Chains A and B, each alone.
Chain A
Amino acid sequence: MRYGVVRFPGTCDDTDALLAAEQLGEAALLWHTDHDLRGIDAIIVPGGFSYGDYLRVGAIARFSPIMQEVERFAARGGLVLGICNGFQILCEAGLLPGALLPNVSLRFVCRQVELEVQRSQAKWLRGARPGDRLSVPAKHTTGRYWAPDPVLDELEAAGQVVLRYAAGHNLNGSARDIAGVCNHAGNVVGLMPHPEHAVDVLTGSTDGLKVLAAA
C-alpha cells in the first residue's frame, strides 16, 4: 500500500501521518498545488489548518489543485481518509455527508478519547472489528458533527457511521456521538480524532494503525 499525504499551507499533522503510513507501507507527500497523485493507492488528508480556514473551516482548501485530483480519485473509488481539518475539507467538498460545527463548549479540546468501532461500509479501519474500542487523541475547536436528523437516520441505516465516541467521551457535542463517517461506497472516510498520533506505545496507544489500515 502506497499512501499519499496532502500538505496545505497550515497543515501540521502531515509529518505524523507520513510516519504512521510508513509503518503500514510506503508514503509520499502530495503538495497542495500539484495535480500529480504520484501513483499512490490511498490518500490521507491530514489535520491542522488550511489556507487560514478563512470563511469556514476547510472552505478554501476544497478548491485547491490537489483537491480536484482527490475528488476525481475518490469518484473512481480511490481510498481517501480525512482526519480533523481533512474531515472538514471532505465535508465541504461534498465527498462526505454532514458538516463540522464549533464545539458546544466553544473551547479548543485536546485529550485522549475512547472510540467504538461501528459495523460500517468503510474500506479503512481494516485493523479493527465492529465493537472494538480504540484509544486515540482528539484536538480541535470545530469538531461537532452535524447533519439533519433524516440524513443521520440514513447514515445509520446504510452503515455509514464508522466510529462513535464511547459513553462520556463525546468531547464536542457531536450528533449521536458520531466521531467518523464514510460515503455510501465506503472508500471515503472522515473522522475528527487523530489516528496518526496513536501509532507508538511511547505515546500510549497504537490503535491509530488499526484505523489507517486500508484495503
Chain B
Amino acid sequence: MTAPATVRVTVNGEPRDVAPGTTVAALVRDMGLEARGVAVAVDGEVVPKRRWGERTLAGGEHVEVLTIAQGG
C-alpha cells in the first residue's frame, strides 16, 4: 500500500491538503509568510518557533496561523 499523496488539515478554518510530513515551518513558508510576527497553534497548543522545523502536521489537525492585527 502506498502512502497517501496528501493529508488534509484545517488552516485558519479552511481545509488544506499538504504533503505528508509537512512541518509547521514548511506550511508557514508555503503560505508566503515570514516567521517574524507570526505565531502558530496546532489543535489549540502553541507551537514555539524553535519547534516549527520538527513539528509535522497530521491529517485532521487544526492549525491556526496568526499575526498581529489592529486592536486594543
| A and B from one complex | no
Please give the residue numbers on chain B whose beta carbons come within 8 Å of chain A beta carbons, in ascending order: none
Please give the residue numbers on chain A whose beta carbons come within 8 Å of chain B beta carbons, in ascending order: none
